[in-house]
Structure 1
Amino acid sequence: MLARPNRLTRAADYKAAVRRGRRSAGAHTITYVRTTGDSGAARFGFIVSKQVGGAVVRNTVRRRLKAVSAKTLTDSLVHTGTDVVIRALPSAATARYAELRDDVTRSLSRVRA
């Protein structure tokens, strides 16, 4: 579970990250990373549309992505003052946790380089 300071909650923050952030696509996700310049904690947001599946499937994918994001915080893959939005593609519905983890970490390291 992500702590409150590590979550994107405002629509304007989502929009800014998607429109002005660096984009990296993987097999199951698209990751947008935007450096805000603030000294605050890194924040994550998730977009899981109905194209991914029904409510149960979408919530399962969202929970897996939250767990992956919490792991990236402990591994220091994301710097402070960074907003990350992860958009799940329809193939994420059938992806295992390890596949999602590899997809997100690969995208984050590509954007960071």
Structure 2
Amino acid sequence: MRRGEEFNSAVRKGGRSGRPTLVAHLGMRAPDLRAGEPPLVGFVVSRAVGGAVVRNRVKRRLRHLMRDRLDRLPRGSLLVVRANPPAASARSERLAAELDVALDRLLRRRESSTTRMEG
């Protein structure tokens, strides 16, 4: 994900799940705007996490962890993963576990809301 509108859409209109090391926001593209396209993922790592080297390391680690989890996201979804300051010193196992918990919560909420809308 590269466009600011996509980040804003996911953060403002999507669901949110927070963990100590990261916060995940899951939104959907508008139905008429490429809804059948593959999911897009963006990362936000602020200066509060650390200097440029630390921020880039955190982004690389999160990007690597997301590669294995992309197939869990629905088509047309927008996911923003925002790193919190503890992500700088967290081990990869902890980041992976917290990312899994955040994704599980977001996907479960999305399933229950679409089921209610259909039923």
What is the TM-score with the length of structure 1 in the denominator? 0.89
Matched, 1:28 2:17: no
CA RMSD, aligned part only?
0.8
Structure 2 CA distance for aligned equivalents of residues 9 and 64 of structure 1: 18
TM-score, normalised on structure 2? Answer: 0.84
Whose radius of gyration is greater, 1 or 2? 2
Correspondent of 2:69 among 54, 67, 72? 72
**Correspondence 1:49-60 to 2 at 5 A:** 49-60=46-57
Structure 1 residues not aligned, in runs of 5+: 1-7
Alignment match, 1:97: 92
1:56-100 alpha-carbon deviations (Å, 9 max, x no partner): 100000000101111102xx3211111000000000000011111
Higher helix content, 1 or 2? 2
Q: Which runs of 5 or more structure 2 residues have no equivalent in the other structure? A: 109-119
Contact 1:77 1:109 in 2 (8 A): no
Identity of aligned residues (%): 35
Residue identity in the other structure for 1:94: S
